Amino acid sequence: MGCAISGLATKTEFSQRDRDEAAAAAAAAHLSEEQVQMIKDSWKVIRDDIAKVGIIMFVRLFETHPECKDVFFLFRDVQDLERLRTNRELRAHGLRVMSFIEKSVARLDQPERLEALAVELGKSHYHYNAPPKYYNYVGAEFICAVQPILKERWTAELEEAWKTMFQYVASLMRQGYQDESARQRNLAASPKDRPDKKNTAL
């Protein structure tokens, strides 16, 4: 699964192409009941190795897209990626991402709750300075990491189901990121909304 957005988005600009692709992804990414069940069944196997998958996912991410390390202050200067396989901080972050995936899978039957979850995560990623370009990368590396775990259970149909889910979730996160970007721009453009420093100084 490739990234739907090329180029690094800034906090203040999004091209029309970005918005069009985000809308297209959201409109196209509808999982069938059969795909939802396939994802849930496969997750029952994957969740037994979530710590392992989280580590593999991010080590692969840094191998294939080394620029992603810039988002992670703790890892940006690490040259020996093998050292990261035993890194506590990376393990913890991997587990947080896997927890988000687990929550997403659990909400596939509750689209409103899934949308709220993913949009909120996109908003928080604005403040992490993690632009939308990276979201699909994580989905692609997750898929690569779980194939060996699922072994013969892995099929082209299952891969398509997971790709569709990640495409949809990434589009929602992108929406949240853009919403928060717009909100911050509006705050910056409205000095009256900011506290008067002369009145707040002690």
Asked if pLDDT for residue 17 goes beyond 60, the answer is no
The predicted model scores a pTM of 0.77
Report the pLDDT value the prediction gives residue 1, as an integer from 0 to 100. Answer: 37
* CB atoms near residue 124 (< 10 Å): 13
Residue closest to 137 by CA, chosen among 195, 58, 78: 58
Query: Cα–Cα distance between 130 and 162 in angstroms, integer?
Result: 22
**Topology at the third CATH level for domain 31-184:** Globin-like (1.10.490)
Task: Report CA-CA distances (Å) from 93 to 52, 63, 89, 176, 202.
Answer: 12, 17, 6, 20, 39
Helix (H, G, I), strand (E, B) or coil at 110: coil
- 43-74 pLDDT tens trace: 999 999 999 999 999 999 989 998 888 888 77
Report the pLDDT value the prediction gives residue 166, as an integer from 0 to 100. Answer: 95
Report the pLDDT value the prediction gives residue 39, as an integer from 0 to 100. Answer: 97
- 21-44 pLDDT tens trace: 555 455 445 789 999 999 999 999
Task: Give the model's confidence band at 105: pLDDT under 50 very low, under 70 low, under 90 confident, else very high.
Answer: very high
Report the pLDDT value the prediction gives residue 68, as an integer from 0 to 100. Answer: 86
Q: Average of pLDDT values for 133-147?
A: 93
DSSP string, 17-51: HHHHHHHHHHHH----HHHHHHHHHHHHHHGGGHH
Helix (H) or strand (E) run with residue 121 in it: helix 111-127
Helix (H) or strand (E) run with residue 197 in it: helix 197-200
